[in-house]
Amino acid sequence: MTTLSASERITLIYRIRVWYPRMKAIYDEIVRAYEMNPLTPDPECVAVFGRFRTGKTTLVDSFCSQHPRVVGEETTHVPVLKVIVPAKASMGNMLTGLLVALGDPLAEKGNLGVKYHRLERLLADCGVRMLVVDEANHFVDRDSQRVLHDVSNTLKNLVKTHNLACVLVGLPYTEEVLRVNEQLGSLFGDAHLLEPFRWDETQPDTIAEFRTFLQLVEQQLPLELHSGLASKEMAWRCFVATQGKVGYLMRLLRRAAEEAVRRELPGLTQELLREAFTATLAGKRRNIANPFSTSLPEMVEAQENEYWPVRRQRSG
């Protein structure tokens, strides 16, 4: 890594992607849906649900990056079209969002019928093969707990009419959309769940999976030395800090690695991780004492038989 400048190494840090087996299996299902859709009579559809910061958006963005849009002289080829469903979703803002994603300069213009007709034409002209719908939980009105049928039906009609592969991404309660809208739900199998890592001493595989993930991350860090990040003690500290959520974990490790590069340190240290936790993970708001202090956090059994950290600490 000595041939790279500090800025180049920091850039590498923020480009790190780690594919652990559960995530890789879902990614492979999305790849299969994209490749098989032209050959199958019904649209190939995949649902990916999970809590915040579990890697859903990273997963689909990584897939989309492998199928970028290509701007030609007469048209733009968009093999994979990604749209983020706006909060308070409606047919109008859903159609506008899709038109914007396709690059339509008149996306805001026209009534619903005009927008829908223009969208259908652009889907064909741009050669869209797969539609990725992120934040699909906005298909549920959180105030009334009601599934927005007109919006979900719009998606169903587009997918079926144009034989589009589809990836539906959202929080776990997005499952209600597929249950209530049976015609849309019939296009999907059971949802793939991206849950946080678990740490259960009675199930050693859960701990091994988390430590393996840490090892894979450290192997990709552009630092001279490995710092024992995957040791059981340090892994537990990382678990307490992040509650097993991939998004939190990567945010923590990237910030610590960035500081190591800036300070010209050969590897990660517990002090760097302590500072990174304070700077990035809102320990006070989440009621988590800094787990990278000198004492080792305790583990207690909490609700739903999951293991969560507490503020009480013991010397270790």
- Per-residue pLDDT reduced to its tens digit, 109-166: 999 999 999 999 999 999 999 999 999 999 998 777 688 889 999 999 999 999 999 9
Has residue 185 got a pLDDT over 60? yes
Which among 302, 300, 275, 301 is positioned nearest to 290, based on CA atoms? 275
For residues 84, 90, 95, 96, the Cα torsion angle rounded to the nearest 10 degrees is -80
State yes or no: pLDDT of 208 exceeds 60.
yes
Per the prediction, the chain carries an average pLDDT of 90
Q: Whole-angstrom Cα distance, residue 159 to residue 301?
A: 44
Distances (CA, A) of 108 to 3, 82, 90, 149, 270: 49, 18, 14, 22, 51
Please provide the distance, in angstroms rounded to a whole number, between the alpha carbons at the two ends of the chain. Answer: 35
Cite the residue boundaries of each domain of the chain with CATH code 3.40.50.300. 21-194
* CB distance 78 to 102 below 8 Å: yes
Query: Residue 221, class by beta-carbon neighbours within 10 Å (0-12 exposed, 13-18 middle, 19+ buried)?
Result: buried
pTM over 0.75: yes
Contacts 24+ apart (CB under 8 A), 201-209: 201/299, 201/307, 207/232, 207/235, 209/20, 209/21
Q: What is residue 301's predicted lDDT score, i.e. its pLDDT? A: 38
* Cβ(238)–Cβ(297) below 8 Å: no
Q: What is the mean pLDDT of residues 4-13?
A: 96
Spatial separation of the C-alpha atoms in residues 309 and 298, rounded to whole Å: 7
Contacts for 65 with CB less than 8 Å, ≥ 6 apart: none
CA nearest to 242, candidates 256, 231, 232, 253: 253
| Among 147-151, 277-281, 291-295, the range of highest mean pLDDT | 277-281
What CA–CA distance (Å, rounded) separates 53 from 243? 10
13-19 long-range contacts (CB < 8 A, ≥24 apart) are 13/221, 13/222, 13/254, 13/257, 13/258, 13/261, 14/254, 14/258, 16/217, 16/220, 16/221, 16/250, 16/254, 17/58, 17/62, 18/213, 18/216, 18/217, 18/220, 18/250
Q: Contact 193/79 with Cβ under 8 angstroms?
A: no
Kindly state the average pLDDT of the residues 25-33.
97
Give the bridge partners for 146, in sequence order: 141
- pLDDT tier for residue 2 given thresholds of 50, 70 and 90: low
Pick the CATH number of 21-194 from 3.40.50.2000, 1.10.357.10, 3.40.350.10, 3.40.50.300: 3.40.50.300
Alpha-carbon span 269 to 218, nearest angstrom: 12
Instruction: Give me the residues paired with residue 313 across strands.
Output: 297
